[in-house]
Structure 1
Amino acid sequence: MTTRPELDVTDTADWAGRPLGEREVSWEARDAILFALAVGAPADRLDLVFERDLRVLPTFALTLAQWAPDVVGSAGGWDVGTALHGSQRLEVLAPMPAAGSTLMTARVGEVWDKGGAAVFEIVVECDYVRATWSIFAPGRGGFGGERGPGRAPGPEGDPATTVDWDIAANAAALYRLTGDHHHIHIDPVAAERIGQPRPILHGLATLSGAVLAAAFAQGASPADLTLLEGRFSAPVFPGESVCVPVWADGSFRVDTERGTAIDGARAVFA
């Protein structure tokens, strides 16, 4: 069941605070298991990949909420061909059951004016999570609004540990089965149109996989995640190796041979 208000908004500033409707979403154990495997969960982590005692990764909820930012793009809030997923925040309110349903409610939060671009905050809430997408929208700024917060400083000192992560060659092909079917993640022609030599991994797949690395580095279960945030700064490709420096306070980063792909990141576990 989906309810969606009429959205006829011409001024970027008028998007702030707009309700985006609600949607009843449901899932089965196989959906949560597919997600876990797609983001790199090892087959021997039975708590993440076996329905008998399954614990659902909290970032799985983001796949169920992807409809919300799509509403704004479809209504012309930004150019879907140029808008970028700038950052993501996830607050975990309660563990998700292995199978179930929940009512998700979405709204536009703040809309920040960056001059040549705007940043839209898309907030989705349900019984289990509160998720906030920050979408960078070129050409939508200059409306006289506030610039919003600046980039948070990076962690101090050396990381406590660094985890090497070999991303599976079929990671993007698997992850798109969880709901994000954008062609740049599977079609070389579509990837070339955005200036990439081959299909790129979904940003949320990279972020979710890094949560696994951060949890294992700290001796925690990734299913015990309570807070996650991270900023996307460069693409990651299926089949490549990355490293994830992790600090004692839960801060982490995702580095590729070309530079940093995710920064300003932090994962907190119960």
Structure 2
Amino acid sequence: MSGWSGRDLGTKTVAYDETQAILYALAVGADASDLDLVFEEKLRVLPTFALTLAQWAPDALGSAGAFDVRTAVHGTQRLRVLNDLPRSGAVEMTARVAEVWDKGSAAVFDVAVESEYFEATWSLFAPGCGGFGGDRGPSARRRPETAPSGTLDVRTATNQAALYRLLGDRHHLHIDPEAAVTAGMPRPIMHGLCTLAALTLPLASSVGAHPADLRELEGRFASPVFPGDELHVETWKDGEATLFEASVDDRTVISAARAHFA
């Protein structure tokens, strides 16, 4: 497995228009009254929209045979914003396998994507691929021991996964009840990236920032979220950034999370 480390996944240019950027904002919870997120004449593109443009990169690694795409799961996501995305245009991206970590019974593949607008890393947890004698890699950030400095309650929409999948990730697990049951879920689940991005809107509001001013984001997908779930979010100050965890009925769904707004 260590032979995958450093593997070039190629370069790709992905074009988009204002309609896709607006659909994305609606899919991650923007309201019709958020005119600078949903009205083309005032539009500011959410930085997390970049992750839909770069989804080809982790997909390319799976297609190359690095792991079994039926069992691998998205473990964590990191995003660093370099420049604001234009309202419409084309983004050239390069991708590579930055690291492969040996977790024993599994491996974690870090897929790094770079462009002039952002840097992003997908960490993909692949069961059955570990045990090759490699480095275990860094541990996830632990939950702060201090009491939360704030809390938020965020309800997902019942049609949220159905909207989000129109932006490119059309895995049947997010829409088809039969596919969900086959995957061991009682019903279709939210996309992890949709849930994480949806939390950035109320987080921005809680610190007096605009969600389009997001500059750094990371989070670990601890367990599934179902459309319609209400997430309870606990926050902690970390200098100018915010640490956060989200749970549904005392079950942690996003952990080791951090957001920083300009």
TM-score bucket of the superposed structures, by smaller chain: over 0.9
AA at the equivalent of 1:135: L
- Is residue 169 of structure 1 aligned with residue 158 of structure 2? yes
The alignment's TM-score, normalised by the length of structure 1, stands at: 0.94
- Is residue 184 of structure 1 aligned with residue 173 of structure 2? yes
Partner of 1:128: 117
Deviates further, 29-38 or 156-165: 156-165
Partner of 1:117: 106
Distance in 2 (CA, whole Å) between partners of 1:149 and 1:166 is 32
- Is residue 262 of structure 1 aligned with residue 258 of structure 2? no
AA at the equivalent of 2:60: V
> Is the partner of 1:243 in helix, strand or coil?
strand
Q: Is the 8 A contact 1:25 1:102 kept in 2?
A: yes
Distance in 2 (CA, whole Å) between partners of 1:169 and 1:85 is 22
AA at the equivalent of 1:57: L
AA at the equivalent of 1:144: G
Q: Is the 8 A contact 1:253 1:265 kept in 2?
A: yes
RMSD: 0.9
Q: How does 1:228-267 map to 2 (within 5 A)?
A: 228-249=217-238, 250-257=242-249, 259-267=251-259
Distance in 2 (CA, whole Å) between partners of 1:159 and 1:212 is 19
Partner of 1:41: 30
Moved beyond 6 Å, runs of 4+: none
> Is the partner of 1:154 in helix, strand or coil?
coil
Gaps of 5+ in 2: none
AA at the equivalent of 2:54: A
Partner of 2:70: 81
AA at the equivalent of 1:247: W
- Is residue 97 of structure 1 aligned with residue 86 of structure 2? yes
Distance in 1 (CA, whole Å) between partners of 2:63 and 2:14 is 20
Partner of 2:204: 215
- Give the Å deviation of 1:155: 2.5
Q: Is the 8 A contact 1:213 1:244 kept in 2?
A: no
Distance in 2 (CA, whole Å) between partners of 1:83 and 1:213 is 30
Distance in 2 (CA, whole Å) between partners of 1:47 and 1:155 is 34
Partner deviation per Cα, 1:173-213 (whole Å, 9 max, x = no partner): 00000100000000001100111110000000000001112
> Is the partner of 1:189 in helix, strand or coil?
helix
Partner of 1:8: none
Deviates further, 200-209 or 37-46: 37-46
> Is the partner of 1:51 in helix, strand or coil?
coil
Partner deviation per Cα, 1:112-157 (whole Å, 9 max, x = no partner): 0111100000000111000000000001111111111112122242
Partner of 1:155: 144
Partner of 1:139: 128
Distance in 2 (CA, whole Å) between partners of 1:158 and 1:102 is 41
- Give the Å deviation of 1:258: 5.1
Deviates further, 54-63 or 155-164: 155-164
Partner deviation per Cα, 1:219-260 (whole Å, 9 max, x = no partner): 111100110010000000001211122222301111101501
The alignment-based identity, stated in percent, is: 59
- Give the Å deviation of 1:267: 0.3
- Give the Å deviation of 1:159: 2.1
Distance in 1 (CA, whole Å) between partners of 2:153 and 2:147 is 16
Number of matched pairs = 259
